[in-house]
Amino acid sequence: MRFIKMQGTGNDYVYVDAFQEKVGDAVELAKKVSHRHFGVGGDGLIVIRPYAGADAEMDMYNADGSSSEMCGNGIRCVAKYVHDTYARGRDELKLMTGAGWRTAHIVTRDKDGNAESVRIDMGAPIFEGLKIPTTIDAPEVLRRKIEVAGQTFEFSSVSMGNPHCVVYVEDVGNFPVTTIGPLIENHPLFPRRVNVEFVQIVSRNEVIQRTWERGSGETWACGTGASAVAAIGHRLGLTGERLTIHLTGGDLLLEYDGTGSVQMTGPAVEVFRGEYAG
């Protein structure tokens, strides 16, 4: 089975073009190919499938085989691959995800005409507690308290097609993400588990983010998480309408004015191609 390894700000996935390849049990395949010692290595598996009325569908699986509705870095790479392979020169692509329709805009191309950076309409944030989902029946889940490992943290929650929990900290570089992250991910407040963003504010237009992703652990970037951080920061009055987010794997530009969709712009990079024999 042929595959493509791509990454967006260090959030790396194994991609399979189901227009050309047959994919059997995607859950087991995700577990095997994602392993960084016994497989290809990545944060998960993304299958690029045909979908009626769309340029393609993104079918996403985390490293543990669990499915996920949406991935901001992943969908930029899907857009790059579809553009470079099937829609060269087009500026806009329509993609289906587990969270619904998303529109991708090709922002820059290299000298050979391949997509370099992509802007994604990430959709409107969902703040209602039960729809995120959390177990909190409230119009918004902002500045709530959660207790894990004998410590109490303030958090705010939002859905960007998948559930997120945003926690502001003073020193994100030294914060115990790998200890606290999985405890919040699996907390009873979140019936479908949750992605956790730990965020240090630099200014109204700049933050530093580390993410613990459900099913994958700490990743070098999270596009839906960055969108959640932009939405929550704006809602709380902590950050402005245009936000640069520094992630371990690079920077993303987020734009959100408090209405409509969050816009995310960032790189999409092909790393290598190969054939998986497992």
Active site residues: 71, 222
The pair of three-digit structure tokens given for residue 211, joined into one six-digit string? 């993410």
Q: Which residues contact 209 (CB under 8 A, 6 or more apart)?
A: 172, 197, 198, 199, 200, 222, 225, 226, 229, 245, 246, 247
Task: Please give the helix or strand (H or E) that residue 32 lies within, else none.
Answer: helix 26-34
Distance of CA 185 to the CA centre of its chain: 15
What are the tokens at 9? 């700000």
CB proximity list for 107: less than 8 A, separation 6 or greater:
116, 117, 118, 119, 265
